[in-house]
Amino acid sequence: MLDLPHNGQANEYGMPGYGAATYGDAFADVYDEWYESLDDADFVRFITTHLNTHFAQHTASVLELGVGTGRLLAQLISARKLHDICVGVDSSAAMLAALAARNLPSRVSTICCDMSRDLPAGPFDLVFIGYNTIFNLPSEQALGACLSLVASRLQPDGYFMIDAVIPNDDGGDNVSVRSVTSDRVVLSVSTHARESQHISGQFIEFSQSEGVRLRPWVVTYWTPSQLDTIARAAGLDLVDRYATGDGEPFTPESARHISRYRTSR
């Protein structure tokens, strides 16, 4: 059920009733199924290579922002082999409940919080945020606040890593079919506000047994140069940027970027 305010007014997300936990609460039960084919395993390899280079013989303290169901964190723990201390934060209790079902090692802890308002104290050797999760922040102010918190939680020699697509503002409003089965149809409906770099939408799920289910989502996207400017103001400097987690050079034609930052203090 959507948690709609009584006045029905839009908020900083641009959708009435939408808040920091809305996306996670709406998608937690289907997230792993719907996004199991997401092609971002190279980001885990990128993180693992970094940790193996800088922490080859000892454990690291790692924080994931928007940890969700723990999809990436579970891969990292499996790949890393050392007993890193890992913390995952997410604004959705439903997502964290799904993560808990994975039975990850006891050295993994989670905190339910809005990453633009609070983060665990740390300090951390590495903070990372997975595929496009940075775009879940609703405004430049929220992004700047989040990055300032990251800068304050990093070790002096710590790193912050982002995985995100290069925005394409050519698209307009869209209605499409996501999936069709014998007893279920999922439609995707979205609207694009180019001037504000804001896209909002719904997955509308029609089920023979369960009726209609709405799964809302909202993103505010930034280009790499915009991210760099906001990060710099927050105390983070770009170290390097790649088109893939396997080190493919970043070019103007790249569809995605993996960027690594360090504190400027």
pLDDT of residue 3: 37
What percent of the chain is helix, strand and coil (3-state, nearest 5)?
25, 35, 40
In angstroms, the CA 210 to CA 104 distance is 32
CB 70 within 8 A of CB 99: yes
pLDDT of residue 167: 87
The domain spans of the chain are 33-167+223-263, 168-220
Q: What is the DSSP letter of 100?
A: H
Asked if domains 33-167+223-263 and 168-220 share a fold, the reply is no
Is 104 exposed, middle or buried, given 0-12, 13-18 or 19+ CB atoms closer than 10 A? Answer: middle
CA-CA-CA-CA torsion sign (37, 81, 106, 263): negative
CA proximity to 224, closest of 182, 165, 139: 165
Mean pLDDT by groups of 10 residues along the chain of 265 residues: 41 88 96 90 96 89 97 93 92 97 92 97 96 96 98 96 89 88 94 91 93 96 97 97 97 96 88
CATH superfamily ID and name for 33-167+223-263? Vaccinia Virus protein VP39 (3.40.50.150)
CATH number for the segment(s) 168-220: 2.20.25.570
**pTM across the whole model:** 0.92
Do strands 124-129 and 61-65 pair parallel, antiparallel, or not at all (unpaired)? parallel
pLDDT of residue 10: 56
Q: Cα–Cα–Cα angle for 171, 35, 247, nearest 5°?
A: 80
